[in-house]
Amino acid sequence: MQKWFEEGSSGIEDAPELTTWDRLAPSIAFAALVVGSCIGFAVIYNPPEPGDRLFPEISPAAATVATLIGLNVAVWGLWKVPPLWRFLNSYFMLVVGMPKPVSILTSMFSHQKLGHMALNMAVLYYIGNRLHDEVGRANFLGIYLSSGAIGYVSSLCFHAANVASLGASGAVLGITAAYFWLHMWDKFRIMGFPAEPSEGVDGVAFLVSVVIWNLAAAFAPSKVAQADIISHMGGLLSGIGLVHVFQTVFKTIPGEMMAARASATTAAAAAAAAAAAAGMAWAEMEATQAHDRDELASSRMPVSRCRTRHSSMHPAQNGETKLLTCGALTTRSRSKWIRENVQRSL
């Protein structure tokens, strides 16, 4: 296993000295290309006839969401293959100190912990299917991919060089925000609450709750504040902005959306939103404590040298810089190492 720890690291002691322009411009340009391509696709896309679809028995929403979930599961599986660590560290994780532009896109499909992925995919499943049914495949993918890309650009612009980030949270929060923005005055119940005669809680209340939970995470103690709040908020605000642009500028989303869904549907969507609000920051932050559990020791994966935001994982951060990687730290030694070395990443 030591062989893979060593090969997963580039041997570079410090991140290269780059000007702000050299570090940010390529990734920002790539993100702009992603967003522009998504908008262009939404404008020209015509959904195929049912008889022309590859799997006509599966709804378009289910096919799209299942494909996204499948890609995330596939990349999660690749993280379990040690010979691939160097490649994944280089291209499926955004490293602020020396970013690769393509990681703006690929990192949103990358998770290293099952809990982190499961939470994001659960919200994607419940919210994604409903948003897809309302806005169509092109608009849905445009919002999802663009929100993720803008979220990572936000992270790249605001975080220090010794921070790395991965996960689908920015993209998932983008579609969550878009859905409840379209239903901001519709009423939702969570498992029958609030009880009748109350009509429920406005969709905008769920948006506010997401913001509050992320702000709470941002001001949490340093030992638990591991979520990439900047990427989360960038994705959330992008989802609102993009659905507004698609609706008012390009007219690819009808100006008046359908009425509130049946109670079972709205309850499921509201529950998923609650999971996004109450769960994303909590689950990601709690997972950073994994070194205190036997799971980390049994995972036999390399441990991060820096504090990983937006990810709750600890493998080697990037095959291109030793600043964000390290050799094999045992579960017992990692707590001491963090106390001595990681405080500067706050």
Min mean pLDDT across 41-50, 201-210, 271-280 is at: 271-280
* Position 270 pLDDT exceeds 70: no
191 vs 247: which has the higher pLDDT: 247
Among residues of the chain, what percentage have pLDDT more than 70? 68
Q: What is the pLDDT of residue 217?
A: 79
Catalytic residue (one of 111, 159, 232, 291): 232
* Position 141 pLDDT exceeds 60: yes
Quick check: 147 and 165 in contact, CB under 8 A? Answer: no
Q: What is the pLDDT of residue 8?
A: 65
**Residue 247 corresponds to which tokens in the numbers above?**
């609706």
pTM: 0.75
Indicate if 232 belongs to the active site.
Answer: yes
For residue 195, give Cα distances in angstroms to 180, 208, 219, 223, 282: 21, 21, 33, 38, 27
Collapsed DSSP state (helix, strand, coil) of residue 191: coil
Quick check: 296 and 315 in contact, CB under 8 A? Answer: no
Tens digit of pLDDT for each residue in 7-37? Answer: 666 566 677 788 999 999 999 999 999 999 9
Catalytic residue (one of 110, 155, 169, 304): 169
Mean pLDDT of 89-110: 95
- Who contacts 317 (Cβ-Cβ below 8 Å, separation ≥6)? 89, 93, 95, 164, 304, 305, 306, 308, 324, 325
Give the rounded distance of the alpha carbon of 55 from its chain centre.
28
Average model confidence (pLDDT) across the chain = 77
CATH fold of 21-46+54-289 reads: Rhomboid-like fold (1.20.1540)
Beta bridge partners of 206: none
Q: What is the pLDDT of residue 222?
A: 57
* Position 172 pLDDT exceeds 90: yes
Mean pLDDT of 180-187: 93
Nearest residue to 275 (alpha-carbon basis) of 149, 142, 137, 176: 176
Residue ranges per structural domain of the chain: 21-46+54-289
Quick check: 148 and 235 in contact, CB under 8 A? Answer: yes
Report how far residue 20's alpha carbon sits from residue 29's, in angstroms, rounded to the nearest whole number: 14
Provide the pLDDT confidence category of residue 1 given band limits of 50, 70 and 90. low
Min mean pLDDT across 57-66, 171-180, 244-253, 315-324 is at: 315-324
Q: What is the pLDDT of residue 200?
A: 85
Q: What is the pLDDT of residue 132?
A: 97
Indicate if 169 belongs to the active site.
Answer: yes
Quick check: 138 and 191 in contact, CB under 8 A? Answer: no
* Position 178 pLDDT exceeds 60: yes
Tens digit of pLDDT for each residue in 27-66? Answer: 999 999 999 999 999 999 999 998 899 899 999 999 999 9
Provide the pLDDT confidence category of residue 273 given band limits of 50, 70 and 90. very low
Report how far residue 313's alpha carbon sits from residue 71's, in angstroms, rounded to the nearest whole number: 19
240 vs 306: which has the higher pLDDT: 240
Report how far residue 165's alpha carbon sits from residue 269's, in angstroms, rounded to the nearest whole number: 27
- Who contacts 228 (Cβ-Cβ below 8 Å, separation ≥6)? 155, 159, 165, 167, 169, 170, 309, 310, 311
